[in-house]
Chain A
Amino acid sequence: MKKGNLTTNLRQVFEIFTEELRHIFNDSGVVILFFGATLLYPILYGFIYRNEAYHDLPVVLVDEHPTALSRELARRLDATPDLAVYRIAGDFEEAKHLFERGKVKGIIYLPDDFHDKVLAGRQSQVFAYTNMASMIYYRCVFSGVNLVVQDMNLNLQVRQLQDLGLTDRQALSTAEPIMSEGRSLANPKGGFASFLMPAVLVMIIQQTLVLGIGMLAGTAREENNFHQFIPYQRKYHGTMRIISGKGLAYFVLYVFIALYDLMLIPKLFGLPHLVSMAELVPFLLPFLLACIFFGMALSVFFWNREMSLLLFLCTSVPLLFLSGFSWPTTHVHTFWRMVSYFFPSTFGGHAFIRMNTAGASAATVQTDLLALWIQAGVYFIVAWFVYRWQILQSEQRIQRGK
């Protein structure tokens, strides 16, 4: 067979490209995935987690023996951003009842000798109980109570030192000889949406691509007489041209979709967004290519149009945990870390969070970018063999049919 010259090759790639675009836009299922899910899902999540932080967790304070000190504690607890004192109860039973009815999410308990112990110069406990229905409840109670206790300790101490005759300055520097001040350099407000959304956005891009490509391949196989997903046509001989043409179609669409998801959505919802367009490009290029060829390589498993939804959709949540969202990747079981290297979302998620949320440059995350390029290369080769195999099978069947 004579090799076509460059122009014919390119023309054929372009034909396959436009053909694939036609397939995409004629398939409402794929349109829902490529445009519905990618455009609407981020908005939905953005609104659900719009409040970012949880404030004023209702707690009940059990004050068995009200004193000036316990009243001060109550006032200070209520003044923290974390907690709101829903009621001051006289005994534990009343507090438990409120807790059981869901009126309060935590109980703070002061025994009746609370103040007496302090007066006697002994340590006095402030007990706080919360349940683990949400990590956020625990965090509110923990930080709220500790903040108040530390402040009050400092005050009590300073007052006592002043009574001993120290000046204000001396009292302060004795009570707290070393001060400390923490600052978050990424996601400074500790917002929940700021934490969750970047990982989800990257995952949405990968999953919709794999699901959509799988659906297109499945449909093609269903509609083709030979249940093969490559229609037998002479000009389609070049596997390279088929992969390039189809891949280009997904790529062109997803450049726009990714810019919407990764650039516009964070701005729209006021999430941390420290990555510039110029820094995003070196990330987007390998990430999209890796996802696309990954999807094409995987599409061989989706033998009809519903299979990708049925079998691959359920990986979304497990994969989220492999991208270093929440549980750190360094602490994931070694076996699962190995598994995670197969998925573009692992490196893509990490790189995007570093760049978008922590302000890393593309150069800083070059290991991730390199990994994505390797994935793109490997999956391109796998996709090439998969498609080649399908074409050969298709040809054989036609010849047998003659």
Chain B
Amino acid sequence: MRVPKHQAWLLVLRRELKRMTTRSIYPLLVVFIPLGFLVYFTTLMPEGLPQSLPIAVVDHDGSSLSRNIVRQLDATPQLEVVAHIGSFGEAADALRHGTIIGFVELPDHLYADVLNGMQPTIPFYYDQSNLLTGSLVMKELTLVLKTVSAGTNLSMRRARSQDPSDALARIQPLVAEVRSMGNPWVNYSVYLLSCILPGMLQLMVLLTTVYVIGIELKKNSSYKWYRLGGQSLWQALVGKLLPYSLGFIAMGTLYLVTLFKGLNYPLNGPFVWMLADMALLVLTSQTFGVFMIGVFPVLRDGLSFAGLFGVLSLSYSGLSFPIEGMPGLLQGLSWLFPLRRYFVIYQSVALNGFNPAYYLGEFGILLLYLLMPLFVYKRLRKAVVEMNYPKK
């Protein structure tokens, strides 16, 4: 195939397509592993929030009140009373072991003390070694015990013959209505997958980009590749990376379609902005990959760098722990991670449905990230031409 010099990238493209279709590693990286992530994370947690978390009751009282409390605990969808345990010690052991996540200890004379106006205290215990289940159990236990107290309050007032309809407002004059915008059901999957799936895809883009360039250096074929690209690193890079751009953007689109269309995750803004967000995440990850292999033109070092960065990106997306809650110096590093920008745009578009004016700046930063290869252009070209780096 003869082409004008400025179209040499087409030759590189053709060469790359041949490589992609003849070696099994490429479909694995671009299609099967990303597909695996999608299947894995969408099926991992069948309930949006864990239901029937195991708790126990230590009932020293054995009164109608204590039985009523147990009934109410069991009636809470998030909780399930799996055991009645004789002593605090045994219950604490079960909690340490992890068979229960919390327990309530109903004290001796509970009912009698309530009737005598002694204001007894019911202690309850929970396990926050897992913050998700621990705080859920704490929240539900608090709620049930407050409700029991309010119910007792109500019946005592009724006994004093106050108007019952009036009584509820008397005991709870204020009611808190906490709403989560964008994710009204406080669904953990929605929360987690919106960022972790793009994050996993980014990891694969980074590794793949480093690999496809690094393998040329390792196999001493990089000069051939460079010559085919008309002695222009730009053309060589475009021809080589373009098929992966398309492949990964297609995969990212599949992610978004599955989440927003298939599983009906909240989307309060135009879908097309999410597509743009995803496409730019893929492209910036590629430019970061070029940067990495440029800095370390040894395949294995480049891959280590990509892996470290890819996994760290998830922390720096701010998904697990808010960036502004991190120590000051480490907060600044969040500007080095495209996934952070992706996630900020996702929040603005999908969760909050903001006006584009609020997030166009974020897109601007993503576009700037596309310039990353400029920093290593000379260094990478030298490595590609001279092939003088260690191969191991």
Contact = CB atoms under 8 A, between A and B. Distances in A.
B130 A328 contact: yes
A318 B135 contact: no
Contact of B354 (A100, A170, A272): A100
Nearest to B25: A310
A238 interface: no
A126 B300 contact: no
B360 interface: no
Contacts of A371: none
Contacts of B51: 331
A357 B129 contact: yes
Given A190-B135, A195-B129, A175 B171 contact: yes
Interface stretch (B147-155, B233-241, B255-263): B147-155
A256 interface: no
Q: B-side binding surface: helix, strand, loop or mixed?
A: helix
Contacts of B179: 127-130
Contacts of A311: 28, 33
A219 B157 CA distance: 79
A28 B114 CA distance: 70
Contacts of A365: 97
B195 to A, nearest CB: 9
Contacts of B186: 132, 138
B146 A150 contact: yes
B149 A335 contact: no
Most buried by B among A32, A44, A169, A313: A313
B41 A178 contact: no
Contact of A51 (B182, B196, B325): B325
B333 to A, nearest CB: 9
Contact of B131 (A145, A190, A306, A307): A190
B307 A185 contact: no
A32 B304 CA distance: 9
B327 interface: yes
Contacts of A219: 392
Interface string B110-145: 100010011111111111111111110011011001
Interface stretch (A224-232, A289-297, A319-327): A319-327
Nearest to B179: A129
Interface stretch (B5-13, B276-284, B309-317, B375-383): B309-317
A151 to B, nearest CB: 10
A156 interface: yes
Contacts of B300: 29, 215, 305-306, 309
Interface in A348-386: 350, 353-354, 357-360, 364-365
B363 interface: no
B365 interface: no
Nearest to B190: A132
A182 B138 contact: yes
A190 B354 CA distance: 33
Interface string A51-62: 101100000000
B330 A47 contact: yes
Given A192-B321, A327-B50, A132 B44 contact: no
B37 interface: yes
B374 interface: no
A331 B50 contact: yes
A318 B125 contact: no
B303 A157 contact: no
A44 B118 CA distance: 52
A355 to B, nearest CB: 9
Contact of A181 (B43, B122, B330): B122
Interface stretch (A86-94, A117-125, A278-286): A117-125
B122 A354 contact: no
Nearest to A331: B50
A132 B182 contact: yes
Contacts of A146: 176, 178
A131 B156 contact: no
* Contact count band on A: 35 or more
A187 B131 contact: yes
A305 B145 CA distance: 58
A81 interface: no
Contact of A45 (B145, B191, B315): B315
Contacts of A270: none
Given A153-B172, A153-B173, A185 B127 contact: yes
Interface stretch (B199-207, B222-230, B242-250): B199-207
Given A29-B301, A141-B178, A179-B122, A44 B312 contact: yes
A358 B134 CA distance: 12
B119 A123 contact: no
B1 to A, nearest CB: 31
A335 B162 CA distance: 56
A32 B138 CA distance: 42
A14 interface: no
A312 B211 CA distance: 14
B153 A314 contact: no
A196 interface: yes
Interface of A: 27-29, 32-33, 37, 41, 44-45, 47-51, 53-54, 99-101, 118, 121-139, 141-143, 145-146, 149-150, 152-153, 156-157, 160, 169-170, 172-188, 190, 192, 194-196, 198, 215, 219, 272, 305-307, 309-311, 313-314, 316-318, 321, 324-328, 330-333, 335-336, 350, 353-354, 357-360, 364-365
Given A121-B170, A136-B321, 14 more contacts: A37-B308, A48-B326, A54-B321, A132-B186, A149-B176, A157-B173, A177-B153, A183-B126, A184-B126, A188-B128, A195-B129, A311-B28, A327-B132, A336-B40
The 8 A-B pairs of least Cβ separation, nearest first, read A132-B183, A357-B129, A180-B145, A187-B128, A173-B117, A178-B149, A360-B96, A186-B129
26 contacts: A49-B321, A54-B322, A123-B172, A123-B174, A132-B180, A134-B318, A135-B188, A145-B178, A146-B178, A157-B173, A169-B117, A178-B149, A180-B149, A185-B95, A188-B128, A192-B131, A192-B321, A310-B29, A313-B207, A314-B203, A317-B200, A328-B133, A331-B51, A360-B98, A364-B96, A364-B97
